[in-house]
Amino acid sequence: MEYTILKPSTEGTVVLLTISRPSALNALNTRFFEEMDHFITTIAADPGIRALIITGEGKAFVAGADIAEMVGKSPEEARAFSAVGQKVFNRLGDLPFPVIAAINGFALGGGMELAMACDFRIASANARFGQPEVNLGLIPGYAGTQRLPRLTNLADALYLLTTGEVIDAETALRMRLVQKIAQPEELLDEAKRLAVLIASKGPLAVKLVKEVTRKGLEMSFHDAEKLEQNHFGDPFGNEGKEGMTAFLEKRKPNW
């Protein structure tokens, strides 16, 4: 597929994906989801990739879904548009390596939902966050009502979802919506530093940690504990053996 919205580039084992639709503040439309779905399929099959960073071009990360496209949809078409977005964002979260949102500006509506679908969020000091769908008489459609309370808490989630209020990066940090704030000129460097740090760890271990932690959130503690136990043995005899041997031999592991 030829990408018209996505701009991927690779630096070693890290992929940087820039959403480039600046004239529309990178608003999410059908073409975006088609390209992202294809991109996820491609990158998931590449064993050399250890991390993905997503950012936006211009003054927005993503300012929301494309209202001009949505306004003419019937209720049935709107539900289908929601289903597509949820499927793509779930696939993004299921990638076997960390996905880092480098939020360079407005992350509103679908843009905030995209950021929440990532594993980590690093925000520029001038980033702004919000779920303003109620201002349009709508609700989030890409699992914003579900991810937000899981990342923050019920009261803060409902506050943002019902008021449509836009918050700054410091408030997002206090709500635990983002993990770190960087100056605008240092945002991508900070995201890359995190990506390279995680990429230096055992790739199977990182994959398993992500899988077990995400799945465990949807399970009882006892069942999640069993899931961890079952996967604990997976690296033994291969990557785990190399890591432990390297530790004992006081050398860097050869992943």
Catalytic residue among 133, 218, 239, 249: 133
- C-alpha to C-alpha distances, 56 to 22, 51, 209, 238, nearest whole angstrom: 8, 17, 28, 38
Is the torsion defined by CA of 174, 178, 184, 186 positive or negative? positive
Reported residue count of the chain is: 255
φ, ψ for residue 61, nearest 5 deg: -70, -70
Q: Say which residue the tokens 């071009």 belong to.
A: 57
Catalytic residue among 35, 113, 190, 239: 113
The distance from CA 127 to its chain's CA centroid, rounded to whole angstroms, is: 16
Distance CA 237, CA 46 (A): 23
Confirm whether 76 is a catalytic residue. no
Q: 33-41, long-range: CB within 8 Å, 24+ apart, which pairs?
A: 33/84, 33/85, 33/88, 34/1, 35/1, 35/3, 35/4, 35/5, 35/6, 36/6, 36/88, 36/92, 37/87, 37/88, 37/91, 38/1, 39/3, 39/6, 39/8, 40/88, 40/91, 40/92, 40/95
Confirm whether 185 is a catalytic residue. no
Give me the active site residues, please.
113, 133
